[in-house]
């Protein structure tokens, strides 16, 4: 029983972290129809930024201020990174075939990974301990970290805030319009580049928050630590129906819990294989995912 | 048209023959132990050229964006390795699993000695391709119904699944679990003792034959059907092309050659291990295809050699710290900088030279003076 609870807890926590990344995928895909392969690496860079910022700020700030300042700066810099990536690598290809943009995304991912390898020297970097969420507590007799409890709550708050933003603000309306029909939205006077930038900013912000929660559970970061969580989060986004935010969150929790269950069984080597098998089954059986809208191809 | 086709065929054949002779001469004139990087780049370039062309057949000529190439290479590499490890080496290779479940080796079955080696290696490579093609057929049944980026992500996932299956403990007696398979015949096995060195020549010959077969396919009615599907699926279907059948065919053939390429890759690196065939490898091959030009076979070949030579050889100096004579330490140079510079170059190609080195043209077009005007006229007529 205790074992089951601990598996479930870690699954929910993992699911919440994937949800934050998956929203970034789903927003971008909704508007640009682009699988942003670099998103997982943005998530990794956010983690590395935290490592370097805390060690840098540790020298100039009083100890109590290091972590909050580091967190804030890491999130801001990640958002800037997401913005710059969009402007530099995707905007010039707006009129190009979709395949070119996807290749550009793969190129950015490759660049970020190599850059991270160069800067870290390929060595695993110790993730700083964040007071408050790294502490161990006991729930129903199972010891776990505070982050396990914080994650689902934070995800809920952020998702509610995001849906409010999308449903009740001007920029949210512009985002919905752009997702519905890119060209018509432009004709209606929506500044499409601003909308896309905002999308990337939101996506990177959530990825940065997700990275803080995710890496707290792991002792260290390597340049490749973003790739697999990124892919799993993407699978979660597809599973829930790409373009749909509630879908991405539900999908992420399902993927997170099933991963945690499989990792706890004797089939642990197949945890990623299962995720992708699930993806293929979903794509074949219901290509639009759980909550996706049906699209018809016009000739 | 007939005449230019013949001319192109001759030019291609002549170039290939000249290249083969040049490579063989080079290997026998130069001392391989002093020019290690040159020969590694040449062999790896040949293998990557084959895999890149096989990917181009799918991505560039049929318009199916698949990212499963590393998975199919893995299948080919393992099939090749399992079938060719000499029986007396099996206990040493599979020592964790107390010997192998398969206790024969193709080169020995076919009589041993040089003849057995050549036949066995060829047969094992072809079987490796067949296994990859058979799995591709199975995967293709559900996956090929998907469109563009969904297909990409599904095939990417399939590559990950294959990798997990081959590392599974229960299959240990066959696949050696997560450990490497080794001690099978490699390119160096073809260096005749006291005679000519043929390892690079063999790599070029095998890759060359496969690429030639793909070229013939592309120029056949099937190839034209593939291109029609790429340009417009709906129109192609209206013209009577069986979409499902042609897509499956293209997928299987591409996987077959990726499998053969995987076998060659195993021969190149002297081992087969599941963890080498990662998604990063697929990306590498995709970038080669993009640099060479999507839809150009010769472009893929040229790009493969450039890519391999640049990453393995020419840019090596970026990885070592250098101090100039006047005591000035060149900034940035240390381990990992090579790959950063390299990925920046790739991004520049992707963003500003989207057509790659060759676009969708072929080398003989340029050589036969068919470049530029006539082609552009055809294109503008579209």
Complex ipTM: 0.83
Write out pLDDT tens, residues B187-229. Answer: 888 887 777 788 888 889 999 999 999 999 998 999 999 999 9
| Contact state of A89 with B354 under an 8 Å Cβ cutoff | no
- Please report the domains of chain B, with CATH numbers, ordered by start residue: 2-380 (1.10.3470)
Residues 224-243 in A contacting B (C-alpha not used; CB under 8 Å): 227, 231, 234-235, 238
DSSP string, A125-187: EEPPP-TTTSSEEEETTEEEEHHHHHHHHHHHHHHHHHHHHHHHSHHHHHHHHHHH-HHHHHH
A159 domain residue, yes or no: yes
Nearest CA in chain A to B139: A280
Within a domain: A263 = yes
- Could you tell me which of B56, B71, B25, B24 has the C-alpha nearest to residue B303? B56
pLDDT at B376 over 70: no
Answer with the residue of higher pLDDT: A81 or A242.
Answer: A81
Name the pLDDT band for A269 (thresholds 50, 70, 90).
confident
Domain boundaries, position A135: 2-285
The 10s digit of each residue's pLDDT in A39-58 is 999 999 999 999 999 888 88
- Interface touch A276/B158, C-beta < 8 Å: yes
Cβ neighbours of A77 (radius 10 Å)? 18
What are the backbone angles phi and psi of residue B181, rounded to the nearest 5°?
A: -90, 135
- Interface touch B152/A35, C-beta < 8 Å: yes
Is there a contact between B350 and A272 if contact means CB atoms under 8 Å apart? no
| Mean pLDDT value across chain A | 87
Contact state of B65 with A99 under an 8 Å Cβ cutoff: yes
Number of domains in chain A: 1
Whether A296 maps to a domain, the answer reads no
What residues of B are in contact with residue A287 (Cβ under 8 Å)? 146, 150
The average pLDDT across B311-322 equals 78
A292, part of any domain: no
Residue A153 has pLDDT above 70, yes or no: yes
- A167 domain residue, yes or no: yes
Which helix or strand (DSSP H or E) is residue B299 part of? helix B297-309
- Burial profile A150-166: b = 16 or more Cβ within 10 angstroms, e = fewer: bbbebbeebbeebeeeb
Shortest Cα–Cα distance, A269 to chain B (Å): 6
- Is A295 a residue whose pLDDT tops 70? no
Note the pLDDT tens digit of each residue in B37-94.
Answer: 888 889 999 999 999 999 999 988 998 888 899 999 999 999 999 998 888 888 888 8
Q: Identify the CATH number of the domain in which residue A202 sits.
A: 1.10.3470
CB-based contact A117 B347, cutoff 8 Å: no
Confidence (pLDDT) at B245: 93
Contacts of B165 in chain A (CB under 8 A): 270, 273
Note the pLDDT tens digit of each residue in B289-313. Answer: 988 888 889 899 999 999 998 888 8
pLDDT tens-digit profile of B126-155? 999 999 999 999 989 888 888 777 888 889
Instruction: Please write the tens of the pLDDT for every residue from A108-131.
Output: 999 999 999 988 887 888 888 887
Chain A CA closest to residue B233: A299
pLDDT beyond 80 at B367: no
Inter-chain contact A279–B157, Cβ cutoff 8 Å? yes
Residue B82 CA to residue A257 CA, distance in Å, equals 37
Tell whether A290 is covered by a domain.
no
């Amino acid at each position: 029983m205790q074992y089951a609870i601990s598996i479930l807890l870690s699954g929910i926590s993992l699911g919440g972290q994937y949800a934050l990344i998956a929203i970034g995928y789903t927003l971008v895909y909704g508007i640009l129809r682009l699988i942003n392969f670099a998103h997982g690496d943005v998530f990794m860079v956010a983690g590395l930024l935290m490592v370097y910022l805390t060690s840098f700020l540790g020298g100039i700030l009083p100890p109590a201020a290091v972590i909050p300042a580091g967190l804030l700066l890491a999130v801001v810099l990640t958002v800037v990174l997401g913005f710059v990536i969009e402007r530099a690598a995707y905007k010039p290809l707006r009129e190009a075939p979709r395949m070119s943009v996807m290749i550009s995304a793969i190129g950015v991912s490759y660049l970020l990974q190599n850059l991270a390898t160069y800067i870290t020297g390929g060595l695993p970097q110790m993730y700083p301990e964040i007071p408050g969420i790294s502490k161990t507590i006991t729930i129903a007799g199972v010891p776990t970290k505070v982050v396990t409890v914080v994650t689902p709550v934070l995800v809920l708050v952020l998702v509610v805030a995001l849906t409010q933003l999308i449903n009740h603000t001007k920029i949210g309306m512009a985002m919905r319009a752009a997702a519905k029909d890119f060209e018509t939205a432009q004709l209606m006077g929506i500044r499409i580049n601003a909308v896309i930038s905002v999308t990337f900013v939101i996506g990177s912000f959530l990825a940065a928050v997700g990275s803080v929660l995710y890496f707290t559970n792991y002792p260290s970061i390597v340049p490749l630590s973003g790739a697999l969580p990124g892919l799993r989060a993407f699978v979660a986004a597809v599973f829930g129906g790409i373009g749909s935010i509630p879908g991405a969150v539900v999908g992420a929790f399902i993927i997170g819990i099933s991963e945690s269950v499989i990792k706890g069984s004797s089939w642990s080597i197949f945890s990623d294989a299962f995720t992708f098998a699930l993806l293929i089954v979903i794509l074949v059986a219901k290509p639009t995912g759980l909550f996706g809208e049906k699209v018809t191809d016009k000739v | 048209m007939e005449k230019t086709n013949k001319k192109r065929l001759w030019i291609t054949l002549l170039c290939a023959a000249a290249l083969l002779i040049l490579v063989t001469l080079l290997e026998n004139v130069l001392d391989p132990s002093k020019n290690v990087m040159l020969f590694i780049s040449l062999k790896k370039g040949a293998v990557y050229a084959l895999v890149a062309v096989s990917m181009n057949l799918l991505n560039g000529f049929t318009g199916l964006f698949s990212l499963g190439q590393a998975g199919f290479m893995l299948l080919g590499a393992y099939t090749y390795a399992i079938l060719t490890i000499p029986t007396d080496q099996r206990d040493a290779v599979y020592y964790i699993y107390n010997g192998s479940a398969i206790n024969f080796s193709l080169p020995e079955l076919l009589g041993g000695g040089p003849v057995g080696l050549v036949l066995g290696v060829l047969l094992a490579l072809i079987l490796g391709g067949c296994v990859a093609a058979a799995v591709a057929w199975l995967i293709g049944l559900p996956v090929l119904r998907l469109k563009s980026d969904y297909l990409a992500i599904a095939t990417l996932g399939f590559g990950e699944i294959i990798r997990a299956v081959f590392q599974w403990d229960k299959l240990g007696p066959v696949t050696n679990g997560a450990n490497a398979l080794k001690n099978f015949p490699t390119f160096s096995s073809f260096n005749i003792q006291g005679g000519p060195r043929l390892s690079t020549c063999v790599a070029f010959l095998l890759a060359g034959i496969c690429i030639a077969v793909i070229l013939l396919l592309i120029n056949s009615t099937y190839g034209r059907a593939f291109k029609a599907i790429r340009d417009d699926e709906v129109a192609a279907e209206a013209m009577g092309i069986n979409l499902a059948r042609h897509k499956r065919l293209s997928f299987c053939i591409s996987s077959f050659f990726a499998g053969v390429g995987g076998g060659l890759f195993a021969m190149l690196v002297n081992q087969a291990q599941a963890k080498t065939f990662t998604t990063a490898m697929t990306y590498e091959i995709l970038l080669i295809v993009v640099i060479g030009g999507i839809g150009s076979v010769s472009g893929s070949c040229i790009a493969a050699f450039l890519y391999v030579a640049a990453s393995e050889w020419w840019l090596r100096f970026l990885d070592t710290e250098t101090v100039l004579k006047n005591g000035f330490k060149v900034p940035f140079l240390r381990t990992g900088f090579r790959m950063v510079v390299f990925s920046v170059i790739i991004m520049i190609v992707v963003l500003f030279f989207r057509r790659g080195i060759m676009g969708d043209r072929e080398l003989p077009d340029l050589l036969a003076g068919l470049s530029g005007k006539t082609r552009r006229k055809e294109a503008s007529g579209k």
